[in-house]
Amino acid sequence: MATQSMTPMEDTMRMKITEALKPTALEIFNDSHLHSHHKAMQGVTSKETHFRVTITSEAFASKMQPARHRMVYALLKDEMAQEGGIHALQLKTRTPAEEERQKQKDALAIEK
């Protein structure tokens, strides 16, 4: 007997992003609990409405941030449209090269 996931929206997001963008890194943070007191969230029973997502994928190469974000929004359009679905989505999108440059920059900042 299969058990039902406690994070069905996050699971769906992870599956769709992984299949379409083949990320080398994917982090999904559920920040819904930080927004549950907002007026717009009153009466919403979903615990999966606000997310921060960091995606590193070669699929973003040669694309500006708005185009990258549109790619992700298109993947998750059904989840964003459904009642009790994704209300807010904060994205950080990078290519593997950009990710490496950021790691080097962070390492230099720590050394200082």
Q: What is the pLDDT of residue 36?
A: 58
74-87 pLDDT per residue, tens: 999 999 999 888 98
Q: What is the pLDDT of residue 3?
A: 66
Select from 18, 50, 54, 17 the least CA-distant residue to 34: 50
Q: What's the rounded mean pLDDT across residues 6-21?
A: 95
The reply to whether 24 falls in a domain is yes
Q: Is the confidence at residue 100, as pLDDT, over 50?
A: yes
The reply to whether 1 falls in a domain is no
Q: Are 87 and 52 in contact (CB under 8 A)?
A: no
Q: What is the pLDDT of residue 105?
A: 92
Please state, in angstroms and rounded to a whole number, the distance separating the CA atoms of residues 90 and 28.
10
Q: Is the confidence at residue 5, as pLDDT, over 50?
A: yes
pTM: 0.84
Structural domain total, the chain: 1
18-71 pLDDT per residue, tens: 999 999 999 999 998 675 554 444 454 557 888 999 999 999 999 999 999 999
**Cβ of 75: how many Cβ atoms within 10 Å?**
17
Residue 28 DSSP SS3:
strand
In three-state form (DSSP H/G/I as H, E/B as E, the rest C), the secondary structure along 51-107 is EEEEEECHHHCCCCHHHHHHHHHHHCHHHHHCCCCCCEEEEEEECHHHHHHHHHHHH
Residue ranges making up the domain that contains 96: 8-38+45-111
The reply to whether 2 falls in a domain is no
CATH number of the domain bearing residue 103 = 3.30.300.90
Q: How far is CA 54 from the centre of its chain?
A: 6
